[in-house]
Amino acid sequence: NVTGYDLMKLQVGAHGSFGVISAAWLRLGPRPECERVFAAALGESGDALARAVAAARLPSARACALVDLNFGFVVESDRAPRSGWLLIVEVAGDEAAVARDAARLGADFGAGDATRGVIERVRSLQGENFAPAGLRFRLSVLPSRLDRVLRELAGADAALLVYPGSGLVFARLALEG
């Protein structure tokens, strides 16, 4: 009778020992009728993060990522920003919802259709190394502190991939010597 994972009951019932899942019910949804990926250059405006959070909260948004100019050329060469951020949004659902959110992304962000495979390239940035030596790390940040964390990391010349809806930040710093 629980929607989602009821792991608290599993842990409390285990009395501090390991829990064993003997049965599980998985509820799966149908494949979406329509899937589209959009990209928009947000530039260096101070409200880029707030705009990205708004895009992540669209009803049909399945994935939303901000990529800085260090990674923009890897993800979307046609729309790679010369400065600031590149917004990548994947929307999925029924055709009417996708069309409505596509129109909003176009009007509010100037987003256009992205090239094929852009979401896979964004996800691959989470684990790839582009330099022979460097420091790669992942941060989970409260949304209220995301702006400050991004400013500090950008000041350290880190290459950034940000999921603004969940507060995940993947950063890469090049090390010399």
Q: Span 118-144, mean pLDDT?
A: 80
Question: In this structure, are residues 32 and 94 in contact, taking their beta carbons and an 8 Å threshold?
Answer: yes
Residue 107 confidence (pLDDT) above 80 = yes
Q: Span 28-48, mean pLDDT?
A: 84
In which band, very low, low, confident or very high, does the pLDDT at 11 lie, cut at 50, 70 and 90?
low
Tell me what percent of the residues of the chain surpass a pLDDT of 90: 28
Phi, psi of 102 (to 5 degrees): -65, -40
Which run of H or of E encompasses 70? helix 69-75
What is the overall mean pLDDT for the chain? 82
Q: Span 18-36, mean pLDDT?
A: 78
Q: Which residues contact 123 (CB under 8 A, 6 or more apart)?
A: none
